[in-house]
Structure 1
Amino acid sequence: MTSPHSSDTPVPRVTETEARRANRTWWDRDADDYQDEHGAFLGDVDFVWCPERLREADARLLGPVPGKKILELGAGAAAASRWLRSEGAHPVALDLSEGMLRHAADAAGRSGVPVPLVQADAMALPFATGSFDIVCTAFGAIPFVADSGAAMREVARVLRPGGSWVFSVTHPMRWIFFDEPDESGLIARNSYFDRTPYVERDDDGTVTYLEQHRTVGDRVRELVGAGFLLRDLIEPEWPDDHEQLWGQWSPLRGRLFPGTAIFVCDLPER
């Protein structure tokens, strides 16, 4: 997904309002195609952290979940929330896209595992302070908002003291490379330190898609600034028996360098 700018032409700043509008429109329009392509991999009742096929059933990055109140940000079709419900948790699935939440409702009907669905913006969570024991997301919200540091602070607000925040994103070093899953995607072409977002615009200049880049250090500073303690950073390795392509994720690239970073964080007791 990440194909950063290599031109010297100044790139107009993208506001949070533009990012929100682009994200909602893009995912509403892409929801059906996304589920057609990835729905079988993600399942109806499963928590898959990343294209490397790391499952929460095996990794247990959230710790024991029975009885826990859990918010899934950028839940998409909410397969992870339904898995959490099947494990005895009390999840809420939140997404900005009505199209993705429509698929979440359909999957709840197929699986018989309903969860509360909320359409809202991760930058302004419609929950009281200290509402949840855990907040999590697999590639949701964080890569797309203009101010991810503010999103981290909003997550901290809705967590109870002692709660956990666990999220996966594209590994920051992937920004160095273009997206091709074959040998051409092994060439370093872009500066790791260029935070210019990848932006697509229509003929009128309206932002239609964007994805932000932050370095590992940026992410750590965002987390510390929001009051979190970083407990672990997981870089899933590509399984030997996994031959499925997912966009830029491929066996060739996955066996050479990481494609996903999972940050496991705690909010200290006050």
Structure 2
Amino acid sequence: MPAPLPLASDGYPLAGGVERRAVAEQESVRANRGWWDAAAPAYLAEHGADLGDADFLWGPEGLRESEAGLLGDVAGRRVLEVGCGSAPCARWLVSAGAQVVALDLSAGMLARAAELNGTTGLAPTLLQADVGALPLASGSVDLACSAFGGLPFVADARGALREVARVLRPGGRFVASVNHPLRWPFPDSPDPADLTVVGSYFDRTPYVETDGAGTVVYVEHHRTVGDWVRDVVGAGFVLTDLVEPEWTPGRTETWGQWSAARGALVPGTLVLVCDLPG
């Protein structure tokens, strides 16, 4: 087992260097598993109250599934959540009557999910796995979702989408939210004064953080809106809707580069609503 990553003063893994370069698929998986294991306590201390113990937020703008209804009626349905983190969305789905399998790459996140399953009495099945190789039978779930879950960290997005399509029954739906591709060329700042283009929207080179020895410890992958459309369709889905949530009135939460001031000007989240023919 690799040694835990050293932490910065804010509790997040310490980045020895930042660069843009190609990363192999398994290198991306290994790095992000280790990073989220190490970052889980700090991330949940910072965002856990906003995420809730049993709530379903599609993104930092505050759009909730209880209001959006993108998954439809979930009662009695078998649902897969990809990139569940501490699993608040999965527990909300259980409270709405669904049978839920909640999957994440990070054991650190799933440990907190197990604790919250116990304290809330809402207990989706927790599974540590990579979305690129789902340990589920074909056609075994009715619905799938991913709320800012694994997709931005996956090197082969189309392969991951094909895996989700494989485990969905014909006629099933997959809804996934990702950071809006329009955010990629701008600085990672919540201040609207920083909305100055500093990179190319069309540059798909992954964002990489390394440790002091140059080993990759974090990877995030960029895709344009057109890339997401092609990957969804290439995986066998019909793209039913693209939702760009507007900032919820009165919401004051600042989350990384997401803020009310910046959210009033440019979109921060893209929600892909995908139906499987059948």
**Normalization by structure 2: what TM-score?**
0.92
Post-superposition offset of 1:240: 2.7
Question: For residue 71 of structure 2, what is the aligned residue in structure 1?
Answer: 62
Equivalent residue number for residue 244 of structure 2: 235
CA RMSD between the two structures: 1.3
Q: Runs ≥4 in structure 1, deviation > 4 angstroms? A: none
Q: What's 2:86 paired with?
A: 77
User: Is 1:19 aligned to residue 44 of structure 2?
Assistant: no
The answer to whether the aligner puts 1:160 opposite 2:193 as a matched pair is no
Q: Deviations over 1:112-169 (max 9, x none)?
A: 1111100011110000111111110111111001111111111111111100010000
Partner in structure 2 of residue 111 of structure 1: 120
Specify which of 191, 205, 212 is matched with residue 203 of structure 1: 212
Distance in 2 (alpha carbons) for counterparts of 1:16 and 1:184? 36
The aligned residue for residue 95 of structure 1 is: 104
Asked if the contact 2:33/2:105 (under 8 Å) is kept, the reply is: yes
For the residue of structure 2 that corresponds to 1:143, the secondary structure is helix
Corresponding residue number in structure 2 for 1:122: 131
| 2:89 match: secondary structure | helix
Matched, 1:219 2:228: yes
Q: In the TM superposition, what are the counterparts of 1:32-51 in structure 2 within 5 Å?
A: 32-51=41-60
Q: 1:151-207: CA deviations, max 9, x gaps?
A: 111111111110001000000000010101114431112111010111011122211
Which has the higher mean CA deviation after the structures are superposed, 217-226 or 183-192? Answer: 183-192
Aligned partner letter, 1:218: D
Tell me the distance in 1 between the aligned counterparts of 2:233 and 2:124.
Answer: 31
CA contact (8 A) 2:21 2:205 kept: no
For structure 2, the residue ranges without an aligned partner over 5 or more in a row are 1-17
- Residue from 144, 148, 151 that aligns with 2:153: 144
TM-score by length of 1: 0.94
Mapped to 1, the partners of 2:169 and 2:145 lie a distance apart of: 14
Contact preservation (8 Å) 2:21, 2:206: no
- State the Cα distance separating 1:75 from its structure 2 match: 0.3
Q: Which residue of 1 aligns with 2:3?
A: none
